[in-house]
């Protein structure tokens, strides 16, 4: 499936951010809608999907990409960031190895935010 290769593309920040930083926001909104929009009726409406491809399997693919997208939080608009967090909260309900990926990405985001906060505080105090 094509969605399984998006993680590989997202690992190359130079490629993803080289043209327009806002493009990643559009990707984030589209991926979040794959989870949150019940009207899309996924995976039943997908073409060339594997036989007996369940909704849970489909969402697992999307959640893996969403966890990779979390490292681009600085380039996402606030509303897209909120949608991403809500989608990841839905993903926390799933058991298995996905939880590991979610926690690693959330930990990465928290650490990067703390580092930014430290830099800002250092500017005020030094």
Rounded Cα–Cα distance for residues 40 and 34 (Å) = 7
- The residues spanned by each domain of the chain are 3-125
Residue 43, preceding bond cis, omega within 30 degrees? yes
Whole-structure pTM value: 0.64
Average pLDDT, the chain: 78
**Largest separation between any pair of C-alpha atoms in the chain:** 61
Give the residue among 82, 101, 104 at the shortest CA–CA distance from 91.
Answer: 101
Contacts (Cβ under 8 Å, ≥6 apart) of 73:
81, 84, 109, 112
Q: Which two tokens stand for residue 58?
A: 């489909």
What does the pLDDT look like over 90-104, one tens digit per residue?
Answer: 777 665 555 666 666
**Given pLDDT bands bounded at 50, 70 and 90, which one contains residue 21?**
low
């Amino acid at each position: 499936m094509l969605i399984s290769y998006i993680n590989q593309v997202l690992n190359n920040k130079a490629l993803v951010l080289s043209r327009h930083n806002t493009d990643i926001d559009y990707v984030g909104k589209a991926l979040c809608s794959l989870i949150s929009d019940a009207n899309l009726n996924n995976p039943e409406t997908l073409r060339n999907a594997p036989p007996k491809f369940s909704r849970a399997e489909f969402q697992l693919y999307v959640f893996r990409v969403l966890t990779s997208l979390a490292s681009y939080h600085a380039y996402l608009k606030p509303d897209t960031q909120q949608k991403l967090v809500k989608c990841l909260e839905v993903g926390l309900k799933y058991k298995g190895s996905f939880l590991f990926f979610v926690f690693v990405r959330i930990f990465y985001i928290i650490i990067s935010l703390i580092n930014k906060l430290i830099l800002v505080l250092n500017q005020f105090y030094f």
